[in-house]
Amino acid sequence: MVDGSLAAGSLPDPAPRARFAKAWGAHRRARRLQWLTGAALLALLIAVSAWLGEVNLALLWERLPRFGSYFGRMVPELAWATLWDDLAYWYWNGWQWLAALWQTVLIAIYATLFGAALAYVFSFLAARNLTPAPWVGVAARRTLELARTIPELVFAVLFVFAFGIGPLAGVLAIGLHSFGALGKLFGDVAENADPEPLRGVRATGANWAQTMVYGATPQLAPDYLSYGLMRLEINVRAASILGFVGAGGIGQELYRAIKNFDHTDISAIALMLIAAVMLIDALCGWLRGLLIGRDGLRAL
């Protein structure tokens, strides 16, 4: 009795409830329809991609053991008794590989320097708040886009053709790509530059270039250096495969080993490469920590 009166008192009119139920139902139907369309679209996209990409899971399943044996053959024969001789046999060409690895690292360093130097100049041209004229900004941004969209390897083939086989083509190819990628990152940072120091420098009668060097550079340098170091890490990886097209570095040795099915050579070179990449990553991380740590907590 009490319950009945309470329910009747709190809900005298069932109409709002029905309206809500109806609206809720419609909302849910709309949501479900949206969801179904999305799922159908995704399924269609997957199906088309699978057809274009010649996906064949049965083949993969059948060949999977081959993949295992491929890695199995890469493991060298090492016995504890003759460990030293076995290692020497595994790394029979170790010194030459080390030289090629060193060249790879050099390519990455010089490419980063080259790309960063160009990107430094272009970042001021491209940043909307610093650019000397709007059309210069647009032109600079388009140039950077072009440089970072064309893959390094395409540049590398072009430069091997123009400059001949060797590390120079690699430096230029990675450098040009880094220029595009770093130019964008630098430009984004430069757009957030504090205008006060710029005004101060300009008030002394400095021209545009002087304003950039003395007003913008000091406040942007930590971020620029940090991004440059990050790029160096990426470039070491990129430089490791340039040898595939004759642009120097360890890639040439790796490609030869893979083509000739010298399985233990592949593992030997790959291990050296991974160790070098990890070492450089750690070094860059440490340097970056030094750079940023001193400047307080910069979010990067």
Kindly tell me which residue out of 49, 82, 96, 204 binds another protein, with binding defined by CB under 8 A.
Answer: 49
Stretch that binds another protein, among 64-72, 209-217, 219-227, 287-295 (CB under 8 A): 64-72
Q: How many residues form the binding site for another protein (CB under 8 A)?
A: 54
**In this structure, which amino acid lies at residue 239?**
A
Question: Quick check: 161 binds another protein (CB under 8 A)?
Answer: yes
Three-state SS letters, 239-299: HCCHHHHCCCCCHHHHHHHHHCCCHHHHHHHHHHHHHHHHHHHHHHHHHHHHHHHHCCCCC
What residues numbered 103-132 form the site for another protein, per CB under 8 A?
A: 103, 106-107, 109-110
Which residue has tokens 């990553």?
A: 281
User: Least distance in Å: CB of 168 to another protein?
Assistant: 5
Query: How far is 202 from 83, CA to CA, in rounded Å?
Result: 68
Query: How far is 243 from 156, CA to CA, in rounded Å?
Result: 9
Question: Quick check: 52 binds another protein (CB under 8 A)?
Answer: yes
Question: Quick check: 59 binds another protein (CB under 8 A)?
Answer: yes
- Between 219 and 248, how does the x/- string for binding to another protein read (CB under 8 A)? ------------------xx-xx--xx--x
Phi, psi of 79, deg, nearest 5: -115, 145
Closer residue to another protein (CB): 25 or 65: 65
Query: How far is 134 from 176, CA to CA, in rounded Å?
Result: 24
Question: Quick check: 56 binds another protein (CB under 8 A)?
Answer: yes
Question: Quick check: 154 binds another protein (CB under 8 A)?
Answer: yes
Question: Quick check: 40 binds another protein (CB under 8 A)?
Answer: no
Stretch that binds another protein, among 29-37, 100-108, 124-132, 195-203 (CB under 8 A): 100-108
Instruction: Please count the CA atoms within 13 angstroms of the CA of 13 that sit on its side-chain side.
Output: 4
User: Least distance in Å: CB of 274 to another protein?
Assistant: 4
User: Least distance in Å: CB of 140 to another protein?
Assistant: 17
User: Least distance in Å: CB of 290 to another protein?
Assistant: 18
User: Least distance in Å: CB of 161 to another protein?
Assistant: 7
Query: How far is 142 from 36, CA to CA, in rounded Å?
Result: 39
Alpha-carbon torsion 293, 294, 296, 299, what sign? Answer: negative
Three-state secondary structure call for residue 54:
coil
Question: Quick check: 273 binds another protein (CB under 8 A)?
Answer: yes
Burial of 183-207, coded b for 16+ CB within 10 Å and e otherwise, reads: bbbbbebbeebeeebbeebbeeebe
Question: Quick check: 67 binds another protein (CB under 8 A)?
Answer: yes
Neighbour tally for 129: CB within 10 Å:
13
Residues at the contact surface with another protein, assessed by CB under 8 A = 45-46, 48-50, 52-56, 59-60, 63-64, 66-67, 70, 103, 106-107, 109-110, 146, 149-151, 153-154, 157-159, 161-164, 166-168, 171, 237-238, 240-241, 244-245, 248, 254-255, 258, 270, 273-274, 277-278
